[in-house]
Amino acid sequence: MHEGSTFENDIKELDPRKAYKHLGIEESFDIQHKNEKEKLKKEYLRRLRLILGTELSAKNKIQAVGSLAVPVLRYSFGIVNWHREGPQELDRETRKLLTTYGQHHPKADVERLYVPRKHGGRGMMQLEATHEVEITKLVEYVERKEDPLIQVVRTHQHNTDSAVLQTARCLKQKYRKKQEK
Q: Has residue 129 been placed in a domain?
A: yes
Per-residue pLDDT tens digits of the chain, which is 181 residues long: 455 555 455 556 556 566 555 555 555 545 566 888 898 999 999 999 999 999 999 999 999 999 999 999 998 887 788 887 889 999 999 999 999 999 999 999 999 999 999 999 999 999 999 998 888 888 888 788 888 777 777 777 666 666 666 666 676 666 666 666 6
For residue 61, give Cα distances in angstroms to 51, 102, 116, 139, 180: 6, 12, 14, 32, 38
| Contact (Cβ atoms closer than 8 angstroms) between residue 154 and residue 142 | yes
- Say if 95 falls within a structural domain: yes
In a domain, 118, yes or no: yes
26 bridge partner residues: 21
Alpha-carbon torsion (73, 115, 99, 57), positive or negative: positive
Q: Are 100 and 43 in contact (CB under 8 A)?
A: no
Would you say residue 5 lies in a domain?
no
- Whether residue 6 is contained in a domain is answered as no
pLDDT digits (tens, 9 = 90+) for 139-169: 888 788 888 777 777 777 666 666 666 666 6
Are 39 and 76 in contact, with CB atoms under 8 Å apart?
A: no
Range of the structural domain that residue 36 is part of:
16-180
Which pTM does this prediction carry? 0.73
